[in-house]
A and B are shown apart, each in its own frame.
Chain A
Amino acid sequence: MTSAAPFCEYLLRLGDDRLVLGHRLSEWCGHGPILEEDIALANIALDLVGQANLLLGRAAAVEGKGRDADALAFLRDSREYRNALIVELPRGDFGFTIVRQFLFSTYALHQWEALASCADADLAGIAARAVKETRYHVRHSAEWLVRLGDGTDESHARVQDALDELWRFTGELFLTDELEQGLVRRALAADSSTLEAPWRRDVEEVVRRATLRLPGDVYWQRGGRDGIHTEHLGLMLAEMQVLPRTYPGARW
């Protein structure tokens, strides 16, 4: 690895999280529970894809091999994707989507806040903008979570199931490794392990308001940062990438 390679890898982690989750959210387009929420989910999806575009663009520039954001998004296989597993799981029902969005957005908010003062001016700029977007994502998903959790028996049961199912995928978000620690020392990355305490505080507060219960200790699922994914990512990428792969260089 050259000195640029770890930073490029880190930017891929950030960018892939958002690209994959943005795509999952976009699957709701035309299927939202009500028209207004359909628009809200599409808005959040667009924010995430926009963030991914900037992050992958920066990753391509840092890499310096002539690739661009599109090449990174559409011409990598699942083995080369660096997103955490939680974002690639199928969208599930509306409750599942909301719980995942809340868990991820809360994590992302603390991460962006830390990155807003990082030593890379481009990444710091992306973070400063994304903080505002992500604050709204947290607010929207948290308010829905409270209403579903403290709603009907069925909505309560569904979001509790979603929380129980998703919980084992949250640990991966806070794993750090040598690569990240090296970047933390150069003020180029947010230390993932320090994000867990504030994340947990926020999650507990909303889960309590939603009259839900936090799952107990579980075995943490992991592997996404190393390119070891669930079967779901490959299927998702097949759909997401079919056009640029079938018609290379297509424009419209």
Chain B
Amino acid sequence: MPGDTAHRLWEVFTQPEGGKPFEHAGSVHAADAEMALQHARDVYTRRGEAVNIWVVPSSAITASTPGDAGPFFEPGNDKPYRHPQFYKVPSGVRVF
């Protein structure tokens, strides 16, 4: 559509209910933050999917690259002691 390029890209995060973590819902085009918020509301929360919205300029997000995958994530794989499954859960503690 014409004019599309004049609008910046914003990432949308929605909180499904109070106290729950925000989840990435998608992205919208908008000229500024207020309009991004309104567009996010119309595009992602029309059916009551959220109680809160964050919008963040896509350009403000620093992302890891596929090339980072090795140094970033693999060292954790051979360190089983980082995983808590060796511990017995004391009785009386609720397991989620």
User: Contact residues of A with B, CB < 8 Å?
Assistant: 32-37, 39-40, 43, 136, 139-140, 143-144, 147
A36 contacts B2, CB within 8 Å?
no
Enumerate B36-68 residues with CB–CB distance to A below 8 Å. Answer: 38-39, 41-43, 46
Summed over the interface, the residue pairs from A and B with CB atoms below 8 Å come to a total of 37
A139 contacts B46, CB within 8 Å?
no
Which chain B positions have C-beta within 8 A of A136?
A: 41
Could you give 26 example pairs across A and B, Cβ below 8 Å?
A32-B1, A33-B1, A33-B2, A33-B3, A34-B1, A34-B3, A34-B4, A34-B7, A35-B1, A35-B4, A35-B29, A36-B29, A36-B42, A36-B43, A37-B39, A39-B39, A40-B38, A40-B39, A40-B42, A43-B42, A136-B41, A140-B38, A143-B38, A144-B35, A147-B31, A147-B35
Which chain B positions have C-beta within 8 A of A32?
A: 1
Which chain B positions have C-beta within 8 A of A144?
A: 35
B28 contacts A36, CB within 8 Å?
yes
B7 contacts A39, CB within 8 Å?
no
B46 contacts A43, CB within 8 Å?
yes
Which chain A positions have C-beta within 8 A of B31?
A: 147
Task: Provide the main secondary structure of the chain B interface.
Answer: mixed
Chain A residue at smallest Cβ distance from B36:
A36
Q: List 7 A-B pairs, minimum CB-CB distance, nearest first.
A: A36-B39, A40-B42, A39-B42, A36-B28, A43-B42, A33-B3, A34-B1
Which chain B positions have C-beta within 8 A of A34?
A: 1, 3-4, 7, 29
Chain A residue at smallest Cβ distance from B34:
A143
Chain B residue at smallest Cβ distance from A144:
B35
Instruction: State in angstroms the CA–CA spacing of A36 and B34 once bound together.
Output: 13
